[in-house]
Amino acid sequence: MNPMRILVVDDETIICQGCSMILSDMGHSVETRSTCGEGIEAILGNRYDLVLLDLKLPDRDGFELLKTVNGKQTRHVVVMSGYATVQNAVNSMKLGAVDFLPKPFTEDELVAVVENIAQKDSYLV
Amino acid sequence: MTGPNFRRFYDAFREIISIVHSTPDVEELMNIVVWKMSEVVGAKGAIFRLLNIETDELELSAAYGIGKNYLRKGPRLNHNIITDLCRLNRAIIIDDLHHSDRVQYALEAEQEGISCIIDVPLTIGIQARGILRIYFAEVRDFSDDELNFMVAIAEQCSCALSKARIIEEQELKYNQLALQTDKLSSLGRLAAGIAHEINNPLAGVLLYSSNLARKTEEGSQMREGLDIIIHETIRCRKIIQELLDFSREREPQKDPFIINEIVEKSLAIMENEFLLNRVEVVKDLAEDLPLVMVDGNQLEQVFVNLLINCVEALSGGGRIEITSGRNDDDELVTVEISDDGPGIPKQEIDKIFEPFFSTKSTGTGLGLSVSYGIVRKHGGRILVENGLHGGARFRVEIPYKKATE
């Protein structure tokens, strides 16, 4: 599996740190941001293979980020949410998210989602 | 009764009857009656005193032509006097105020210019409800017609009172129901909001504990502890998911169903539970049911929840009856699930649909409240009662009218 460049956007520091630790252990390079604005800025200025995005952010909701980055240089966005309703999942997918990870999730669940995307990517390459 | 007298009584009677039928406000009615009554029979004034059922005291409800000072004084009629009057069920004339046990303040009455009093009973059924007391400035003879008129008017007022009381009771019942419904839905919304907030810290707990568990040797004490943390956190996640389901976020995806199909599916899901717990299931499903527009999965969840509830009530085996039917008057399809267990304690029966209310040590207290929320979103309701011969009975009502629209 090729190492990916991953961005985690969540205002919960613990979740950013946790994801960062686990994904770094897997060999990926991980950055974190804690607001929607910072997230958008990072995405527009860099090329990420994967963005893990929380829906509820302090400045704007994550859907705004999805709308902004849709079709831009970021390849995949996975939405994480503590409000895992079918409606939220459907909206995320419509806006271009590739997967939906309901909070709370275990390490295994996070790893499975990321590996799944890495695999898709390797087919594409 | 002939001539101008008859006309006078007849007109007054007609007027009062029309007020009885057109005014929902009993107080207004009584105020008009004491005024009309005094006018028609040439009295100085009249009052209504009604029995307050809670305090068992007579309270002044309407007065005409009598000074405030005298009214304030009394008469504090004693209860027996009223019940005696009602038992006689006719008007009583008191023309000697000083020697009647029905008059407590004879002197004050005299000062007010009262020489004679007529008491007329107000009854609802056989129950004493109060008194209509008419005051006269002079002692005179009263014709039977006059006395009959007074009694007839009092009877009309009793009718109005009884009607008003029924309306009041209905209103009270309705308000209580509305309050209960409100309370449940706001509790659900509140709980859903909290659930959402809890998911974030739980995400931290689960992520770190599962990460640490992977790095810890299998079978070690540390690993055992971490596994417990993971297991319990996942349990929290499940509770919260149920809570979010209870909140109004998820709208039912409705399709036409004969409700029996959903009942059968729920029974199939529960079959193993029935076997394990030695529960015998008796079903009696109606054959001529109309289609209902429902979310099959959600309704299945409701029936499964109710069945689980029954199975748990029947520890050590028992019988569950499930029946379906229709109520064409109210355009409802009904499903009743009852067990022959111990029933629901009286003090708990109002609470069982509240989120987090549980009598079981392992229960989340959400099964029934989730079910309640689902049925409400279908425009129906769940009722619960204890059966005549013990056991609990749940009744799910779903409107079917929409399917034909």
CA distance B112 to B280: 79
Q: Pick B218 or B105 by higher pLDDT.
A: B218
Nearest to B210 among A15, A19, A107 (CB): A107
Q: Pick B329 or B190 by higher pLDDT.
A: B329
Architecture of domain B255-404: 2-Layer Sandwich (3.30)
- With CB atoms and an 8 Å threshold, state whether A104 touches B233: yes
Q: Of the candidates B330, B344, B319, B318, which has an alpha carbon nearest to the alpha carbon of residue B290?
A: B330
Weakest mean pLDDT among A65-74, B158-167, B292-301:
A65-74
Residue type, A19: C
Which band of pLDDT confidence, cut at 50, 70 and 90, is reported for residue B75?
low
Nearest to A15 among B196, B203, B233 (CB): B203
Q: Minimal Cα–Cα distance from A125 to chain B, Å? A: 30
pLDDT at B404: 45
Q: Which residues of A touch B197 (CB under 8 A)?
A: 82
Which band of pLDDT confidence, cut at 50, 70 and 90, is reported for residue B207?
very high
pLDDT at A108: 93
Quote the tokens at residue B306: 């109710």
Q: Which residues of B touch A8 (CB under 8 A)?
A: none
A83 touches chain B (CB under 8 A): yes
pLDDT at A73: 66
Secondary structure of chain B in the HEC alphabet?
A: CCHHHHHHHHHHHHHHHHHHHHCCCHHHHHHHHHHHHHHHHCCCEEEEEEEECCCCEEEEEEEECCCHHHHHHCCCCCHHHHHHHHHHCCCEEECCHHHCCCCCCHHHHHHCCCCEEEEEEEEECCEEEEEEEEEECCCCCCCHHHHHHHHHHHHHHHHHHHHHHHHHHHHHHHHHHHHHHHHHHHHHHHHHHHHHHHHHHHHHHHHHHHHHHHHCCCCCHHHHHHHHHHHHHHHHHHHHHHHHHHCCCCCCCCEEECHHHHHHHHHHHHHHHHHHCCEEEEEECCCCCCCEEECHHHHHHHHHHHHHHHHHHCCCCEEEEEEEEEECCCCEEEEEEEECCCCCCHHHCCCCCCCCCCCCCCCCCCHHHHHHHHHHHCCCEEEEEECCCCCEEEEEEEECHHHHC
Is the pLDDT at A125 greater than 50, yes or no?
no
pLDDT tens digits along A1-59: 688 999 999 999 999 999 999 999 999 999 999 999 999 999 888 889 999 999 989 89
CATH topology of domain A5-124: Rossmann fold (3.40.50)
Is the pLDDT at B334 greater than 80, yes or no?
yes
pLDDT at B403: 43
pLDDT tens digits along B124-148: 777 788 889 999 999 988 888 888 8
pLDDT at B20: 77
pLDDT tens digits along B349-386: 777 887 667 666 556 666 788 888 889 888 899 999 88
Q: Pick B252 or B80 by higher pLDDT.
A: B252
Q: Of the candidates B59, B58, B62, B25, which has an alpha carbon nearest to the alpha carbon of residue B46?
A: B62
Which band of pLDDT confidence, cut at 50, 70 and 90, is reported for residue B322?
very high
CA distance B254 to B402: 11
Q: Of the candidates B158, B12, B153, B9, which has an alpha carbon nearest to the alpha carbon of residue B82?
A: B158
A105: closest chain B residue by CA: B203
Cα dist from B169 to B22, B162, B163, B174, whole Å: 20, 11, 10, 9
| Residue B177: partners with Cβ closer than 8 Å, 6 or more residues away | none
CA distance B88 to B81: 11
Q: Minimal Cα–Cα distance from A72 to chain B, Å? A: 29
Is the pLDDT at B3 greater than 60, yes or no?
no
Could you give the angle at the alpha carbon of B213 between the alpha carbons of B208 and B214, nearest 5°? 100
pLDDT at B405: 41
Residue percentage of chain B with pLDDT more than 70 = 88
The ranges assigned to domains in chain B are 3-171, 175-246, 255-404
- With CB atoms and an 8 Å threshold, state whether B211 touches A21: yes
A18 touches chain B (CB under 8 A): yes
Contact B267, B283 (CB under 8 A): yes
Mean of the per-residue pLDDT values of chain B: 83
Q: Pick B243 or B312 by higher pLDDT.
A: B312
Identify the top-confidence range among A72-76, B17-21, B233-237: B233-237
Report the relative pairing of strands B318-327 and B279-284 from DSSP bridges: parallel
Which band of pLDDT confidence, cut at 50, 70 and 90, is reported for residue B215?
very high
Architecture of domain B3-171: 2-Layer Sandwich (3.30)
Residue B195's φ and ψ, nearest 5 degrees, are -55, -45
Is the pLDDT at B268 greater than 60, yes or no?
yes
Mean of the per-residue pLDDT values of chain A: 88
Quote the tokens at residue B47: 């009052």
Weakest mean pLDDT among B168-172, B205-209, B222-226, B392-396:
B168-172
pLDDT at B181: 65
pLDDT at A7: 95
The arithmetic mean of pLDDT across residues B62-81, rounded, is: 75
Weakest mean pLDDT among B74-88, B222-236, B292-306, B371-385:
B74-88
A110 touches chain B (CB under 8 A): yes
pLDDT tens digits along B274-314: 988 899 999 999 999 999 999 988 899 899 889 988 988 88
Q: Which residues of B touch A102 (CB under 8 A)?
A: 199, 241
The arithmetic mean of pLDDT across residues B160-165, rounded, is: 82
Weakest mean pLDDT among A37-41, B103-107, B262-266, B327-331:
B103-107
Q: Which residues of A touch B236 (CB under 8 A)?
A: 104
ipTM over 0.85: no
Quote the tokens at residue B383: 């009722």
Is the pLDDT at B249 greater than 60, yes or no?
no
pLDDT at A75: 76
Please return the burial class of A21, using the count of CB atoms within 10 Å of its CB with bins 0-12, 13-18 and 19+: middle
Q: Which residues of B touch A80 (CB under 8 A)?
A: 203
